[in-house]
Amino acid sequence: MNFRAFREEDLAALVDEVRPLASEGKVATYIPELARGNPESLAVAAVDGKGSEVAAGDRDLRFTMQSISKVVSLAVALSEFGEKAVFGRVGMDPTADPFNSVMRLEMVRPHRPQNPLINAGAIVVDSMLLARGPEEAFHSIREMARRMTGNPQLRENEAVYLSEKRTGDRNRSLAYFLKSVKTIRGDVEEILDVYFRQCSLEVTVSDLAVLAGTLAFDGKNPLTGETVLPGKICRILRALMATCGLYDGSGEFAVRVGIPAKSGVGGGIVASVPGVMGISVCGPALDHQGNSIAGIALLERLSDRFGLRVL
């Protein structure tokens, strides 16, 4: 793939092409503040190894990272505690259950979340970071997000954070379950506070294209040139994204797009083509699995037309 072939006009045409698909999806409503998102919004950006960006659509759209932040908190945990400690606490295999499912936790022993990209897994990861205290834990995640995006201004959207904190009862159910079986320790509300905060980190597709690029270029941020993460951790993150990144829609995404990616219910998706580029899309209308319906379609066309598929 030659990045130069990748022109803004092409991206803009693709945006126009897939935007109507938004009508088949629905903006997330279980977090009231997210329900205010415009389902028709659609944006895309891509960044190559030198930090050059091409973008199209509603590129100024600001949205919250939501589950995409799980990649960031996992990166922090892997950096701090190492692979062995983290994967002693949470699995690394995909699951057919929805992102907020508690069932398998009860059914299978040890009561360990299937992987760190479903909610239960991310809560376990956050509980590990809490060892430093709640303030420190969140700051380490935000700092990592700032370095991976190259945006030192990155901060949380207070309204979304508060909205999620108020309504996040399923996550409370997961966390208290995990505590009751001693998979996590510590104060549940403190752990969830970190989780709700990281989900509310506000970004644009440009920010996330750089973050995806950092993962694609084995830890080197293509915009700032900073080495943010070791290559090994990026390979782990990309592998988990490839098999678990779109929840129970991960298999179909691999078939249709074939690039390691992670979605969030804010409508964002990051996709990392190893050694080639980082991509991000955002379209708040979601399919029934909680993934951006127009966003996936856009990535599918990008992947097909520019031969980005790695699988």
Active site residues: 67, 70, 195, 247, 265
- Decide: is 261 part of the binding site for its own copies (CB under 8 A): no
Residue 267, both tokens: 């409508």
- Decide: is 173 part of the binding site for its own copies (CB under 8 A): yes
Cis peptide before 134 (omega within 30 of 0): no
**Number of residues this chain uses to bind its own copies (CB under 8 A):** 48
x/- letters, 46..85, toward its own copies (CB under 8 A): ----------------------------------------
In the complex, the smallest distance separating the C-beta of residue 29 from its own copies, rounded to whole angstroms, is 13
In the chain, count of helices (H) and strands (E)? 12, 9
- Decide: is 176 part of the binding site for its own copies (CB under 8 A): yes
Run of H or E residues at 136: helix 134-149
Beta bridge partners of 144: none
Run of H or E residues at 181: none
Task: Report which of 298, 229, 239, 289 is spatially closest to residue 264, judged by C-alpha positions.
Answer: 289
The stretch among 20-28, 145-153, 206-214, 232-240 that binds its own copies (CB under 8 A) is 232-240
- Decide: is 120 part of the binding site for its own copies (CB under 8 A): no
Identity of the residue, 59 or 172, whose beta carbon is nearer to its own copies in the bound complex: 172
Task: Report which of 159, 168, 215 is spatially closest to residue 195, judged by C-alpha positions.
Answer: 168
In the complex, the smallest distance separating the C-beta of residue 123 from its own copies, rounded to whole angstroms, is 12
The stretch among 3-11, 58-66, 143-151, 246-254 that binds its own copies (CB under 8 A) is 246-254
Task: Please pick, from the candidates 89, 165, 238, 262, the single residue that binds its own copies as defined by CB under 8 A.
Answer: 238
Please report, for residues 102, 141, 201, 255, the alpha-carbon distance to residue 300 in angstroms, rounded to integers and kept in the order given. Answer: 31, 30, 26, 9
Identity of the residue, 101 or 200, whose beta carbon is nearer to its own copies in the bound complex: 101
Residue 123, both tokens: 């809560």
Answer yes or no: are the C-beta atoms of 99 and 247 closer than 8 Å: yes
Beta bridge partners of 220: 227
- Decide: is 244 part of the binding site for its own copies (CB under 8 A): yes
- Decide: is 199 part of the binding site for its own copies (CB under 8 A): no
Q: Give the chain's radius of gyration (CA, Å).
A: 18
Identify each DSSP E strand in 29-146 by its residue range: 43-48, 53-57, 63-64
In the complex, the smallest distance separating the C-beta of residue 297 from its own copies, rounded to whole angstroms, is 16
Identity of the residue, 9 or 182, whose beta carbon is nearer to its own copies in the bound complex: 182
- Decide: is 127 part of the binding site for its own copies (CB under 8 A): no
Residue numbers at the binding site for its own copies (CB under 8 A): 91-97, 101-104, 106-108, 114-115, 169-170, 172-177, 179-180, 188, 235-236, 238-240, 242-244, 248-252, 254-255, 258, 260, 274, 309-311
